[in-house]
Amino acid sequence: MSGLSEGRAGMFNCSGPCERKRLVAGEFSRKMVEAWQADDKAPITCKKCTLQKEEAKAREVNESAEGEALVCSICKKEQPSGAYSNKQLRKDVVGKNLQKCKECVFAAEKAQRENASTNKEAKLKELRAKAEELEKSGEKIKAMKFFTEAASLEAEIHSGIKATKSKPFVKRRR
Protein backbone atom coordinates (compact mmCIF):
# COMPACT_ATOMS: atom_id res chain seq x y z
CA MET A 1 0.00 0.00 0.00
CA SER A 2 1.45 3.35 -1.00
CA GLY A 3 0.40 6.91 -0.42
CA LEU A 4 -1.54 8.37 2.45
CA SER A 5 -2.27 6.32 5.58
CA GLU A 6 -5.91 5.84 6.48
CA GLY A 7 -7.29 8.81 8.44
CA ARG A 8 -3.93 10.60 8.79
CA ALA A 9 -3.42 13.68 6.63
CA GLY A 10 0.17 14.21 5.55
CA MET A 11 1.40 10.74 6.47
CA PHE A 12 2.98 8.80 3.59
CA ASN A 13 4.06 5.19 3.13
CA CYS A 14 7.16 4.21 1.17
CA SER A 15 6.64 1.59 -1.54
CA GLY A 16 10.41 1.01 -1.82
CA PRO A 17 12.45 -1.75 -0.17
CA CYS A 18 12.25 -0.18 3.30
CA GLU A 19 8.42 -0.14 3.28
CA ARG A 20 8.37 2.37 6.12
CA LYS A 21 4.94 3.64 7.11
CA ARG A 22 3.50 6.96 8.29
CA LEU A 23 6.30 9.21 7.01
CA VAL A 24 6.08 12.98 6.65
CA ALA A 25 6.35 14.59 3.20
CA GLY A 26 9.91 15.75 4.00
CA GLU A 27 11.08 12.12 3.67
CA PHE A 28 10.15 12.22 -0.04
CA SER A 29 11.40 14.29 -2.96
CA ARG A 30 9.20 17.10 -4.21
CA LYS A 31 8.54 15.15 -7.43
CA MET A 32 7.38 12.09 -5.47
CA VAL A 33 4.96 14.19 -3.42
CA GLU A 34 3.66 15.86 -6.59
CA ALA A 35 3.21 12.43 -8.22
CA TRP A 36 1.25 11.27 -5.18
CA GLN A 37 -0.89 14.43 -5.27
CA ALA A 38 -1.72 13.76 -8.92
CA ASP A 39 -2.58 10.09 -8.25
CA ASP A 40 -2.85 8.90 -4.64
CA LYS A 41 -2.47 5.27 -5.81
CA ALA A 42 0.93 6.01 -7.37
CA PRO A 43 3.81 4.13 -5.70
CA ILE A 44 6.20 6.57 -4.07
CA THR A 45 9.65 5.87 -2.65
CA CYS A 46 11.39 7.78 0.12
CA LYS A 47 14.72 9.57 -0.31
CA LYS A 48 16.61 6.75 1.45
CA CYS A 49 15.29 4.06 -0.93
CA THR A 50 15.94 6.27 -3.96
CA LEU A 51 19.51 6.92 -2.81
CA GLN A 52 20.11 3.19 -2.20
CA LYS A 53 18.77 2.41 -5.68
CA GLU A 54 21.07 5.02 -7.26
CA GLU A 55 24.10 3.74 -5.32
CA ALA A 56 23.36 0.15 -6.38
CA LYS A 57 23.00 1.29 -10.00
CA ALA A 58 26.31 3.18 -9.78
CA ARG A 59 28.06 0.09 -8.37
CA GLU A 60 26.54 -2.07 -11.12
CA VAL A 61 27.66 0.35 -13.85
CA ASN A 62 31.07 0.57 -12.20
CA GLU A 63 31.50 -3.20 -12.24
CA SER A 64 30.25 -3.74 -15.79
CA ALA A 65 31.68 -0.64 -17.48
CA GLU A 66 34.69 -0.84 -19.69
CA GLY A 67 36.68 1.96 -21.22
CA GLU A 68 39.38 4.39 -20.29
CA ALA A 69 40.47 4.08 -16.66
CA LEU A 70 40.38 7.33 -14.66
CA VAL A 71 41.44 8.17 -11.12
CA CYS A 72 38.81 9.65 -8.82
CA SER A 73 39.93 12.92 -7.22
CA ILE A 74 38.29 11.97 -3.89
CA CYS A 75 38.89 8.25 -3.28
CA LYS A 76 41.99 8.04 -5.56
CA LYS A 77 40.81 4.71 -7.02
CA GLU A 78 41.41 3.95 -10.67
CA GLN A 79 38.02 3.14 -12.21
CA PRO A 80 36.61 2.72 -15.72
CA SER A 81 34.88 5.72 -17.36
CA GLY A 82 31.49 4.05 -16.77
CA ALA A 83 31.89 4.78 -13.05
CA TYR A 84 31.67 8.53 -13.78
CA SER A 85 28.71 10.64 -14.87
CA ASN A 86 28.93 12.49 -18.18
CA LYS A 87 29.20 15.78 -16.29
CA GLN A 88 32.20 14.48 -14.33
CA LEU A 89 33.83 13.12 -17.49
CA ARG A 90 33.66 16.61 -19.06
CA LYS A 91 35.72 18.00 -16.15
CA ASP A 92 38.90 16.64 -17.70
CA VAL A 93 41.40 19.49 -17.73
CA VAL A 94 44.84 18.79 -19.18
CA GLY A 95 47.17 17.71 -16.40
CA LYS A 96 44.50 17.89 -13.67
CA ASN A 97 42.35 15.08 -12.39
CA LEU A 98 39.08 16.72 -11.30
CA GLN A 99 36.61 13.87 -11.88
CA LYS A 100 34.68 12.30 -9.02
CA CYS A 101 33.24 8.80 -9.34
CA LYS A 102 29.50 8.30 -8.87
CA GLU A 103 29.96 6.65 -5.47
CA CYS A 104 31.90 9.65 -4.13
CA VAL A 105 29.33 12.09 -5.58
CA PHE A 106 26.48 10.16 -3.91
CA ALA A 107 28.37 10.06 -0.61
CA ALA A 108 28.99 13.83 -0.75
CA GLU A 109 25.31 14.53 -1.55
CA LYS A 110 24.20 12.29 1.31
CA ALA A 111 26.52 14.06 3.77
CA GLN A 112 25.27 17.44 2.56
CA ARG A 113 21.61 16.43 3.10
CA GLU A 114 22.35 15.14 6.60
CA ASN A 115 24.27 18.32 7.45
CA ALA A 116 21.39 20.50 6.19
CA SER A 117 18.85 18.71 8.40
CA THR A 118 21.16 18.97 11.42
CA ASN A 119 21.62 22.69 10.78
CA LYS A 120 17.85 23.24 10.56
CA GLU A 121 17.27 21.40 13.83
CA ALA A 122 20.00 23.43 15.56
CA LYS A 123 18.49 26.67 14.27
CA LEU A 124 15.06 25.54 15.49
CA LYS A 125 16.41 24.99 19.02
CA GLU A 126 18.12 28.38 18.90
CA LEU A 127 14.91 30.15 17.80
CA ARG A 128 12.85 28.47 20.53
CA ALA A 129 15.41 29.36 23.21
CA LYS A 130 15.51 33.00 22.09
CA ALA A 131 11.70 33.18 22.05
CA GLU A 132 11.40 31.73 25.55
CA GLU A 133 14.09 34.11 26.81
CA LEU A 134 12.23 37.12 25.38
CA GLU A 135 8.92 35.88 26.75
CA LYS A 136 10.37 35.54 30.26
CA SER A 137 11.81 39.06 30.05
CA GLY A 138 8.36 40.43 29.23
CA GLU A 139 8.95 41.26 25.55
CA LYS A 140 6.06 39.15 24.29
CA ILE A 141 5.72 40.82 20.88
CA LYS A 142 9.38 40.17 20.00
CA ALA A 143 9.03 36.65 21.39
CA MET A 144 6.05 36.03 19.08
CA LYS A 145 8.26 36.80 16.06
CA PHE A 146 10.72 34.09 17.11
CA PHE A 147 7.91 31.63 17.90
CA THR A 148 6.43 32.11 14.42
CA GLU A 149 9.86 31.67 12.79
CA ALA A 150 10.33 28.47 14.81
CA ALA A 151 6.89 27.20 13.78
CA SER A 152 7.66 27.96 10.13
CA LEU A 153 11.01 26.15 10.32
CA GLU A 154 9.45 23.16 12.07
CA ALA A 155 6.78 22.94 9.36
CA GLU A 156 9.52 23.06 6.71
CA ILE A 157 11.43 20.23 8.42
CA HIS A 158 8.34 17.99 8.59
CA SER A 159 6.65 18.85 5.29
CA GLY A 160 9.64 19.64 3.08
CA ILE A 161 7.89 22.81 1.89
CA LYS A 162 9.50 26.14 2.65
CA ALA A 163 7.18 28.89 3.88
CA THR A 164 6.95 32.03 1.79
CA LYS A 165 5.83 35.49 2.75
CA SER A 166 2.50 36.39 1.26
CA LYS A 167 1.76 39.77 -0.23
CA PRO A 168 -0.62 41.98 1.73
CA PHE A 169 -4.17 42.12 0.48
CA VAL A 170 -4.93 45.35 -1.34
CA LYS A 171 -8.52 46.24 -2.02
CA ARG A 172 -9.01 47.59 -5.55
CA ARG A 173 -11.05 50.69 -6.21
CA ARG A 174 -13.67 50.58 -8.92
Q: What is the pLDDT of residues 94-108, one digit of tens each?
A: 556 678 888 888 888
Q: What is the pLDDT of residue 10?
A: 60
What phi, psi does 154 have (nearest 5°)?
A: -65, -40
Residue 76 makes CB contacts below 8 A (sequence gap 6+) with: none
0.95 exceeded by pTM: no
* 154 band by pLDDT with thresholds 50, 70 and 90: confident
Mean of pLDDT values over 166-173:
74
| Spatial separation of the C-alpha atoms in residues 21 and 18, rounded to whole Å | 9
More confident residue, 62 or 135: 135
| Spatial separation of the C-alpha atoms in residues 50 and 136, rounded to whole Å | 45
Mean of pLDDT values over 56-75:
71
What's the whole-number average pLDDT of the chain?
80
Q: What is the pLDDT of residues 123-147, one digit of tens each?
A: 899 999 999 999 999 998 889 999 9
Q: What is the pLDDT of residue 2?
A: 46
Q: What is the pLDDT of residue 3?
A: 45
22 pLDDT above the threshold of 50:
yes
64 pLDDT above the threshold of 70:
no
165 pLDDT above the threshold of 80:
no
Cβ atoms of residues 146 and 131 within 8 Å: yes
* 73 band by pLDDT with thresholds 50, 70 and 90: confident
Name the residue among 55, 53, 57, 60 with its Cα closest to residue 17.
53
